[in-house]
Chain A
Amino acid sequence: MKARYLIPLVVFLLMIGLFGVGLKLDPSKVPSPLIDKPAPQFSLPDLHDREKLVDTAVLREHKVSLFNVWASWCVACRQEHPFLMELARSGDVPIYGLNYKDKRPDAINWLNRLGDPYTASAFDEEGRVGIDWGVYGVPETFVVDSKGVIRYKQIGPLTEQAWQETILPLINQIRAEEG
């Protein structure tokens, strides 16, 4: 008899639990189907030197590298930029950039003014490579291992918290795997 009256309470608590979880989820973060898949091939002109090509092979030159999609028109990119500079200064992981749907002078200007954390930036004017990489909200950062496999995708700015909690442990794990 008593148990019967507890049912609404239990249902209520379950719903509170579900709503609580739902509040924490960010619906704008859609899991990428590219995780653990080979990075999509690209070959694009270098942002600074249109004669030079940047292609997927550069990502396989290191045990692990970051591939950061950015644009000078992107507000959140500016927000994450100081952190990228900090990472670049530490020299821990090479950062490659994909300058997405930008104008060359704007992008170069942006880097000159704020600093250039990128080992190299590929210039994706049309956003065609962005489509292949499933980019839908710049900035996005991919963690790529030495086999050229995408291991993780950060949607939105790369923050200190995301770095410490998720990306750095993953990088250490990848390094350990590759010995």
Chain B
Amino acid sequence: MKHLTVLAALCLLVFWGSVSVARIDTFVFDNPQDEQRFKKLSAELRCLVCQNQNLADSNAELAIDLRRELYSMIKAGKSDGEILDFMVARYGDFVLYRPPVKPTTYMLWVGPFILFVIGAVALVMFVRRRSDDVLPGDELSTEEQSRLQGLLEKQPAGKRKQR
């Protein structure tokens, strides 16, 4: 039990250490709106070095530089649009987590819906065909039905086959 406590404490210590190292840059903003904008924009811009992280989360050198750049642009009173244009001009649409809708990204935006429609149509066709499989002529006549009943009753219970 004591070992467990020590282990837990050690884990916490190691984890704590990594957390405190993760964010070192501190920016001071003139007003809370600017700080909100910084948070929003740094969450929407992708870090190109570690592509599945945004600028806010990434600790790559480039992300740190771009956060500083973002900060100075906000300080300089640039609008969100101007800042995003600045980033796109240098790193392309890929820097945006929400790429713009334009001819090269149509597939990206519409593709999932196309797949959905194809899937839905395939499903409907499949279900329709299955329900069509039982034709009126396929049904048993009264005679056949009673014969079947007789056969089923002859079979010992438990050995009955389905169908």
A residues with a Cβ closer than 8 A to B are 27-28, 30-34, 101, 126-127, 130-134, 136-137
Partner of B89, one of A33, A101, A126, A127: A33
Q: Does B65 contact A (CB under 8 A)?
A: yes
Which of B29-37, B90-98, B155-163 participates in binding chain A?
A: B90-98
Q: Can you offer 13 A-B residue contacts whose CB atoms are under 8 A?
A: A27-B51, A30-B48, A30-B91, A31-B92, A31-B94, A34-B90, A101-B61, A126-B65, A127-B61, A131-B65, A131-B90, A136-B62, A137-B49
Q: Would you call the interface of chain A mostly helix, strand, loop, or mixed?
A: loop
> Is the pair B49, A33 in contact by a Cβ cutoff of 8 Å?
no
Q: Is the interface of B mostly helix, strand, loop or mixed?
A: helix
Cβ of B88 < 8 Å from any Cβ of A? yes
CA distance A132 to B89 in the complex (A): 9
- Smallest CB-CB A-B distances: 5 pairs: A136-B48, A134-B90, A33-B92, A30-B94, A134-B91
**A90–B159 alpha-carbon span in the complex (Å):** 88
In the complex, the answer to whether A132 meets B94 with C-beta atoms within 8 Å is no
**Further contacts, 19 of them, CB under 8 A, given A33-B91, A34-B90, A132-B90:** A28-B51, A30-B48, A30-B91, A30-B92, A30-B94, A31-B94, A32-B91, A33-B89, A33-B93, A127-B61, A130-B65, A131-B65, A131-B66, A133-B90, A134-B90, A134-B91, A136-B62, A136-B91, A137-B49
